[in-house]
Chains A and B, each alone.
Chain A
């Protein structure tokens, strides 16, 4: 592959700065002691401490999974600090009291933290290291009964809701990383949309890891009551460190009758340098329960960052006629590894799911799609359509597809299509012959390739995702 293709992928990471801010960091290591400390710091009720300890005890008995198509040196879970928080000057009452250094950080990242600046009309919750720093538009949302706040705050003010739903979709012992998260999660977003309410604006969380030795374990819980609907956006970045940081989040979504949850992610954690040094290990469990009839859960993700991504946003389609969707773009470059996909579990009658996955691999990276479509005996009339496309840039990268299909009801209809393509020299030459240089050509081809996914994103996010992909690929084509 020529030099143009090589150059197009080699762009510096622009969110790699560290914020100089006083941080309260727990000593490294994990024990019951640590968990009690976190729980105490957060002034948690007894049941939540029990929840954590339960999770911890299950975790101790579990093995780190090795089935994913990724390679990395073993993680030393005792070398991680499980709590890091910017030291608050005093209790915050308004946005104006947020540490100006923090505000500058989020300004640099383009997060509309200030209500004044939030012209886009997006309500933002910001998670800095382990704690939620600010939630905008809270009062306005409260007027229609929507609760949108930090998880730790929800624990204090809406314990009955948290207790009812936390762990109801992803049980504490679900998998190794989910168990770890359940034991040590520090903060995250909580979102409750009451019956019949269509959330009037997109809700958004911005995650930022700032401390070198800390892990980030956030926990997000979104509940849409009967007839409610919400669109939720998640963005993430981290500074450049030459060590790896662990990010093990859990997201649970619950949609009751006729409810609709749309969850969009643009993930741009630091991916490590061009030699594969540093970067975030992103081991995330995301699952939605389409519990009610006609409910819908839709995941859209654009995964561009992290050294390793291990992530399968899933839908459990329990309610009759419920719908699950997964739209994904995963781009890997240099030595990044991604093993990502989805699980669609059809339980209710006439449940439908759609999977559209676009993998782009450049450099020496490795990109795998792994997806399960499971139709249980009860799911008469279930339908799934899956489309998995891979695109290779250069000839050093790998693309793999692992579809698992289990159908136990013969009235179900499952379709799977897959393709692999390559940005070829002759395509680039065609563009060049019309005056278009390699970078613009690749960006046009990639955007065309990802179109079906991008059009699922809210507009501002779609623009950000488009720019991000072009930026990530700059220098990779030749």
Chain B
């Protein structure tokens, strides 16, 4: 929701980034304020995941230009774990498996690490078990997932739910959901969307990266952006998503080219 007195959470100006020496992000601008939900859409390979990982601080991506302020501070001065503790959360498009590490143990460590940063009490294993089971109910997750290794052998949809579970636990300031909807059946989509809607409030913000407008039937965005070749080339309201669904991306691309030529 757009609020009058909202604070700027994320301010991206002219962001450029390389991977393996190839420029992927080519001058990206985006402003996200508290309370807002943004959707970023765009064809495969346009740089959506790259943008998410640059924000989270993955070392394979080299920032070559532009600025990113998170709550007014230079995001690039923080190590990846510091960004996470400060409230930047990324739900991965492809969550990695960590064999041998029990999910419950991992979840508790991440929860307690972030709680400690916020000056709040850490939970012992028993307290945490109660806490996490409540959160899992919300996402209709089977508690058996606590005993398994992190993401190991999880189906695509189960991995995504595990991501949203972590988001629900960590209560981030800025959550970036990278194609969390892809690979989910309708029930899972509804459950995950409920989880996201439950969490959204006037002090935090969400960025949903998605291909499909169907997610936006469940989570209503305040802004829809179209990304192409490492740039945001069009921004509109929620109706833009519907238009993209029926007309595809080509017309946006053509429009933006024409506008650039005119300028």
Chain A residues proximal to chain B, CB less than 8 Å: 2, 421, 424-427, 429-437, 440, 444-445, 448-449, 451
Contact = CB atoms under 8 A, between A and B. Distances in A.
Given A433-B92, A434-B170, A451-B100, 4 more contacts: A433-B84, A435-B113, A436-B81, A444-B101
B100 A429 contact: no
Contacts of A430: 92, 95-96, 98
Given A425-B60, A429-B59, A429-B80, A436 B98 contact: no
B57 A432 contact: yes
Contacts of A448: 98-102, 149
B59 A2 contact: yes
A427 B98 contact: yes
Nearest to A432: B80
B116 to A, nearest CB: 9
Closest 9 CB pairs of A and B: A448-B100, A432-B80, A434-B110, A448-B101, A435-B84, A435-B113, A432-B81, A435-B85, A435-B114
A444 B105 contact: yes
B84 A421 contact: no
B177 to A, nearest CB: 13
27 contacts: A425-B59, A426-B96, A429-B58, A430-B92, A430-B95, A430-B98, A431-B110, A432-B79, A432-B80, A433-B56, A433-B81, A433-B92, A434-B166, A435-B84, A435-B110, A435-B113, A435-B170, A436-B109, A437-B81, A440-B109, A444-B105, A444-B106, A444-B109, A448-B99, A448-B100, A448-B102, A449-B99
Contacts of B90: 433
Nearest to A444: B101
B245 interface: no
A434 B84 contact: yes
Contacts of B140: none
A445 B96 CA distance: 13
B147 interface: no
Contacts of A433: 56, 80-81, 84, 89-90, 92
A445 B106 CA distance: 10
Contacts of B109: 436, 440, 444
A445 B59 CA distance: 20
Contact of B117 (A429, A435, A444): A435
A447 to B, nearest CB: 8
A427 B149 CA distance: 13
Contacts of A437: 79, 81
A395 B108 CA distance: 30
Contacts of A2: 59
Which secondary structure dominates where chain A touches chain B?
A: helix
Contacts of A427: 96, 98
Contacts of A444: 101, 105-106, 109
B113 A436 contact: yes
A421 B85 CA distance: 29
A2 B58 CA distance: 12
B114 to A, nearest CB: 5
A351 B142 CA distance: 41
B229 to A, nearest CB: 25
Contacts of B57: 432
Contacts of B58: 429
A435 B81 CA distance: 4
A433 B59 CA distance: 12
Nearest to A4: B59
Nearest to B79: A432
Contacts of A434: 84, 106, 110, 113-114, 166, 170
Contacts of B170: 434-435
Interface string B73-92: 00000011100110001101
A431 B81 CA distance: 8
A432 B59 CA distance: 11
Nearest to B113: A435
Nearest to B169: A434
A397 B144 CA distance: 37
Nearest to B80: A432
A427 B106 CA distance: 12
B68 to A, nearest CB: 16
A426 B53 CA distance: 11
A230 B96 CA distance: 43
A430 B84 CA distance: 10
Contacts of B114: 434-435
Contacts of B96: 424, 426-427, 430
Contacts of A449: 99-100
A431 B151 CA distance: 13
Contacts of B117: 435
B244 to A, nearest CB: 29
A114 B178 CA distance: 60
A474 B90 CA distance: 27
B48 to A, nearest CB: 17
B103 to A, nearest CB: 11
Contacts of A424: 96
Nearest to B115: A435
Nearest to A423: B98
Q: Which of A434, A436, A445 has the most CB of B within 10 A?
A: A434
Nearest to B116: A435
A445 B79 contact: no
A449 B98 CA distance: 10
Nearest to A451: B100
Nearest to B100: A448
Contacts of B56: 429, 433
B84 A432 contact: yes
A78 B79 CA distance: 55
A245 to B, nearest CB: 35
A427 B105 CA distance: 15
A357 to B, nearest CB: 15
A432 B113 CA distance: 11
Contacts of A445: 98, 100-101
